Every structure is written in C-alpha cells, then in structure tokens.
Structure 1
C-alpha cells in the first residue's frame, strides 16, 4: 500500500474512531490476500474485529458500573447443591427472556444458602448478554434513595435506575429498616413495575414482609407488584458456610 494511501486510511479510521480496525487492518489485509478473500470478506473481517473489541469493552464497562462482586460467578457456584427444579429455573433465566418481558426474579432461602452468590452470578451472565444490571444490598440502596429524597434528587435517581434492565436488591428484610426508608423502596418498586425487572433475595417469606414495610397496605401493594410477573426460586438447602466449616473441621480432626 502506498504511503499516501495508508496515511489517508489511517486518518479515516481515526476520524471514525475505529481503533481496532486501524491496528489490525494491515494484518487482515495480508491474510485476505494470502487466502484470496473477496473485498466484502476482507471488509467483514475488519468490522468483526472492531465489533468484538467494542463488545468486550462494553461488557467490562457494564460489569464495573453494575457494582457486582465479580468473584460471585457461575464458575464458583456449586449448582449441584440446588434442587433439580431450581437448576431448571436457572437454565431458563440464563436465556434472559424474563428481562425482555420486565419480569422479576425472587430468590428465597436461609442465610448461607447461596442466594447472593446465585443472583450475582445471574447478573454477570446477563451483562454478557448485553444487559445493564445494577446491584446493591438493600441497606445501601435505601441509604442512597433516602439521601436522594432529602436532597430533592429522588426523581433524578429513579430516572438513572430506569436505564438499567434489572435492579438487584440483595437481602431485603435482613436488617430492620425505618418506615421512611421502606417508603422510598416502595417508590422504586412502583416505578419499576412493568417497566423494568427487579431481582431480589430475602430470607423472609412473603407472609412476613409486613415486618419489612411496616404497613399492611404497603406490604400488600409491594408484594402484588413484585409477584405479578415473577419467577420464584426457593433454595431450601443447608448453609454452604456451615457445611464448609464442618468439612474443614472433619479434615483437621482426621
């Protein structure tokens, strides 16, 4: 390729912000020539390389913005511990269709059953399917919502959350909250209703959610909105942490 032509090509690729294409087009051009590829095949290979790089960067960016603990992923989760029904549900959820229909996911189980790990793993897989996910413990989310309300920024924060395909709220009911805090949580749930998915973990069954929302009417309204379009997973299994501790102790004693 003539130097003038190469300079023009570089300039065009820079202007279009095609960084990967600019780095790889020479190598890909040589490969196309050696394999006698058509012009369209060569162009396709250049654009595929650019798209792949952008996709990787986009996923990395979305993983960071999600605030998900990345160590809690499917590779480190023992799916064999779960009942067959739950494994079937997980397989379906991993397809991501529930997000397309603005459905919710509720995971119930005792402390140590793996609720948080599982929901974080699901969140990461959804991000790899090009979804935007936001993760927070219930306690931290309530602080964020309440502070926004006091600063008259709640509508702006809710608008920010509306850009996410799913909001993960971990450990609803684990810590008792004030009524004002639960009111802002209800506001978020009402905003998300049929507009975006909510993914929730809790160790409290619905029959005890009045402890969370403090008010029977608000409890009924919250449960109604969450359950209306939802998939419910029940992790009726022993605590992973307790089992791990027992196994460690047995090894030490043997």
Structure 2
C-alpha cells in the first residue's frame, strides 16, 4: 500500500513537472473507471490524453475570447438570422467556416444604424475563435487614437506588429465619427500594413461613394478602398433597424 501511494505521489510530481495538470487531476479517477470497465492500456492512455487535450482547448478559447475584446453577448445564437435574405445567410455560413482567413480576405459589412452589422461580425468573430483563430475587436475611433499615440511615441511599427498576430482585426463603425487628416493617415497605414497579409473585418454606415469624408482626399480614399475591396466579401445589410422594430413590437404589446 505504501509503495502504491509513493508511486501515485511520484506520478503526480512528474505530471506537474511535465505541465499536464488535467491528467494529474484525473488519472486516479480514470484508473478506477478503466479497472471497472476493463480498459486496455491504450484506451486508458487515450482517455487521459483526451481529457488533457480538451481542457487545453477550452482554456485556449477562453484566453482568446478575453484577448479579443469582443462583446460576448453578440454571438450567433443571439442573432436573428431570419431577418436576413437567403443570399446573406449563405454568405454568413461560409464566413463561419473561416476559409476567408486562410485566403487573407476581408469582410465588409454595410448598413444603416441598427441593421445588425456589428452584431453579425462579432458573432462571426466569436465562432472563428472557437475554431482556434485569433480575432481582435475595436471601435474605429479607439483604434485611431491608439495608432496616433503610437506614432507620436515612435512606436507605430511595434503596435502594427502586435496587431498582426491576429488573424482578423474587426474595426467597428469606420466613418461613424469624422477624424482629422493625421488620424486618417495612421488608419490608412494600418490598412496598407495588413493588405494581403491578414484579414480585416469592418462595419460602416457609409457607402464607398462617401469614404472621402473619412480619408479627406480622393487619392487616399481610392487607395484605401482598393486595399480593403481587393480579396473581400461584402455584406449589404439593407435592413430596417432591429432596435426600432423591437420598440414598435413592445408598444404593440
């Protein structure tokens, strides 16, 4: 009995040293099940490895969700897909697979305020994280200020490198707030830096014909549009505001 106890202690210590916390926590429990159900050695080892693998996957996903800064309430289950036409539903189904990330494609969602474009892209972003991809969400206004501060502190290249680790950068409400030329120059620098290297997902209530309001001059506007449209999926959410619909339905009740 003492020898068996010593063996368990030594095994626990070895598993700790090998950084296998889940196996360390459950090897005795699985051993009892294996003995009761007459598992072969390979089956016992498989059950331990699966527990460790699944627990690591869960911890990684939780870490990626936290790093993403995504609003977690905006997930695919909370989005009313029935509001979308079938063509859009088909596009969303493909986006959820994540193939566009492998091809370094962008996703551009256009629509009026309340059409659900932010919720939809956030939902896609969360689903991608569950597939193991890295996604980062930021309002455009906040991103621009971060880029501008980094430029003034001569750290812009460092910030761009930090953002490059994400498979997709989700920029919300580009053009919603008007910025000055210096601020838009750093945004253009970001778009150029990610061009054909990693994906951008963005939402906007401004069609391309009005993007000169964002980038201030025709040449920069054309260059910015060229970079985001090349290799892109465009979602046009020409829908009424779901917030207005919700309010109207509540009034009826």
Match of 1:242 in 2: 244
Match of 1:156 in 2: 158
Matches within 5 A, 1:5-16: 5-16=7-18
- Please give the alpha-carbon distance, in whole angstroms, between the structure 2 residues aligned to 1:240 and 1:167: 25
Match of 1:61 in 2: 63
Match of 1:172 in 2: 174
Q: Return structure 1 stretches of 4+ with deviation > 4 angstroms.
A: none
- Please give the alpha-carbon distance, in whole angstroms, between the structure 1 residues aligned to 2:219 and 2:230: 16
Match of 2:224 in 1: 222
- Please give the alpha-carbon distance, in whole angstroms, between the structure 1 residues aligned to 2:26 and 2:184: 53
Classify the secondary structure of the residue corresponding to 1:169: strand
Q: 2:133 aligned with 1:96, yes or no?
A: no
Deviation at 1:231, TM superposition (A): 0.4
Unmatched tracts of structure 1, length 5 or more = none
Q: Deviations over 1:139-173 (max 9, x none)?
A: 00001111111111111000000100000000011
- Please give the alpha-carbon distance, in whole angstroms, between the structure 2 residues aligned to 1:40 and 1:186: 55
Match of 1:202 in 2: 204
Deviation at 1:31, TM superposition (A): 1.3
Q: Please, which moves more after superposition, 133-142 or 28-37?
A: 28-37
Deviation at 1:246, TM superposition (A): 1.1
Match of 1:110 among 112, 118, 121: 112
Classify the secondary structure of the residue corresponding to 2:233: strand
Unmatched tracts of structure 2, length 5 or more = none
Coordinate RMSD, CA, aligned = 0.9
- Please give the alpha-carbon distance, in whole angstroms, between the structure 2 residues aligned to 1:65 and 1:183: 26
Deviation at 1:40, TM superposition (A): 1.5
TM-score by length of 2: 0.97
Q: 2:189 aligned with 1:187, yes or no?
A: yes
Deviation at 1:33, TM superposition (A): 1.8
Equivalences, count: 251
Q: Deviations over 1:221-248 (max 9, x none)?
A: 1111111100000001100011111111
Deviation at 1:36, TM superposition (A): 1.8
Classify the secondary structure of the residue corresponding to 2:58: helix
TM-score by length of 1: 0.97
- Please give the alpha-carbon distance, in whole angstroms, between the structure 2 residues aligned to 1:215 and 1:33: 74
Deviation at 1:215, TM superposition (A): 1.3
Deviation at 1:41, TM superposition (A): 1.4
